[in-house]
Structure 1
């Protein structure tokens, strides 16, 4: 067993998107090779309706897949193909934009006004950039949850984990998307395929990941395979953890436990040309997409 070292631990950055939605961005619009095949990750969490109610009005996507996971509140969605729906707490939507789609996403708070969800963008490989768009809407009850003997809970959105397989399938990046809770004081090692890029995003409680870097340098110690491994300062809410290579991730939960997403996928290692919500391989393909938008030919007939 080889524990993945932590290459970086950093806080998500406040920003605004759509028609004025206040959110925190963990990564995106910088170096697309950093977490290839993933391009962007946003945490949209708020208790003030004015900071999210105007939502994400009609906008285009091409060449990517978007993964929306709702924890509280709801998201109403509609698209240029005539699809409509509503995502509630615990639900997931995996949208393959492919050759092009126009859609909108409008968040609504729960009875207390709270709204919380995540959106991840995954790149599509060159040969699937212009595939037909499709949706996979997955209800919370369809997502398997595993409870280990020590109280660790894992919801398996996609990929295979501890003998369970998530309901989302046919995704180009062949990802593993897990929602993990580790109880207070528990040390847990979770397997991750060696050939995938991987990151964790902490959104509740706190914990320490093996070899994590942190400014204050407080060390915890544990033994892995007979060798002493440094586990540094606790990572808390809205922290992105970027891992190096290995076949597992180790975390030591803090006093309140820790909940995080653990996401991994096979890197594409292809050129990236990026213009807002459109991600292709070349600048010429971006120019063609913008021309299609201007000419009203962005939405392509199904193959």
Structure 2
């Protein structure tokens, strides 16, 4: 075995509220986001209390990045100013490229029951921030998955999952940031060694169970692990666990964020605010 990637930090998410009062666990976001380049934010929503999600996310704008919403349980409807309408259900993914601008809403289509999933913000390079917006719904049946020799299930949302003789391209491939997004489900007593490109920034979030990361760190559910940019991965679980593994190629560009706008300069943020105010957004 070659050298393992060092564990740089293990940290819990922070309670947050967004939209019209939806309660979230903010795993990545806020101060220091450049450490996670090209990723800007990761929110987990996980509750069976309708009061925590029922108000949803009424119409709001985005510019300068992509949003990836991965639904584990529940029903959420997307509508945007371009006329797109989509329904996210358990196992589905929504990949939205805001680019120069999208105004959309995300509203629950249920009044009771569990709502569980994630939303990840992926930065766009400077020369793509004002490109045409795009939107894609990916039903669970179109998201590749495989089982490794140790019985680990890998749901391959983006990038290409590689371990030993196993290789599976994901539902989405992206240039420049080259994201790898996997939902790894480890049965009790199993281990997984996914290969990632050298230089890719990598984090993993344990959303169920407990794992041993890189042979030395016990990580319980609700914790984010930030890893070094080089070396191998070794993840194991004695009792079983579910992990969201995220990796991408850093852009190494200035990040200036104001709420739902992420650009490279203050002047570009001010232009986004003017465009939204003047009705020329998107």
User: Residues 138-165 of structure 1, C-alpha deviation per residue, up to 9 Å, x if partnerless?
Assistant: 1101111111121111011111113211
Counterpart of 1:242 (choices 226, 251, 255) is 226
1: distance between equivalents of 2:191 and 2:61? 43
- Equivalent residue, structure 2, for 1:177: 181
Report the CA distance shift for 1:3/1:178 in structure 2 as closer, same or farther (over 3 A): same
Q: TM-score, with normalisation over the residues of structure 1?
A: 0.88
Q: Which runs of 5+ in 2 are unaligned?
A: none
Q: Indicate the RMSD between aligned Cα atoms, in angstroms.
A: 1.4
Secondary structure, aligned partner of 2:151: coil
The answer as to 2:259 corresponding to 1:276 is: yes
1:171 offset after TM fit, Å?
5.4
Q: Is the 8 A contact 2:173 2:179 kept in 1?
A: no
Q: Is the 8 A contact 1:108 1:115 kept in 2?
A: no
- Equivalent residue, structure 2, for 1:156: 156
Report the CA distance shift for 1:134/1:172 in structure 2 as closer, same or farther (over 3 A): farther
User: Residues 87-126 of structure 1, C-alpha deviation per residue, up to 9 Å, x if partnerless?
Assistant: 110000110000011001113458x610001000011100
2: distance between equivalents of 1:2 and 1:131? 40
User: Residues 205-229 of structure 1, C-alpha deviation per residue, up to 9 Å, x if partnerless?
Assistant: 111102xxxxxxxxxxxxxxxxxxx
- Equivalent residue, structure 1, for 2:270: 287
Counterpart of 1:231 (choices 216, 228, 233) is 216
Match runs of 1:250-269 below 5 Å: 250-255=234-239, 257-269=240-252
- Equivalent residue, structure 2, for 1:132: 132
Report the CA distance shift for 1:132/1:172 in structure 2 as closer, same or farther (over 3 A): farther
Q: Is the 8 A contact 1:152 1:180 kept in 2?
A: yes
2: distance between equivalents of 1:89 and 1:288? 38
1: distance between equivalents of 2:69 and 2:172? 12
- Equivalent residue, structure 2, for 1:207: 211
Rg larger for: 1
Moved more, 163-172 or 46-55: 163-172
Q: TM-score, with normalisation over the residues of structure 2?
A: 0.95
Q: Is the 8 A contact 2:159 2:180 kept in 1?
A: yes
2: distance between equivalents of 1:45 and 1:263? 19
- Equivalent residue, structure 2, for 1:70: 71
Moved more, 246-255 or 156-165: 246-255
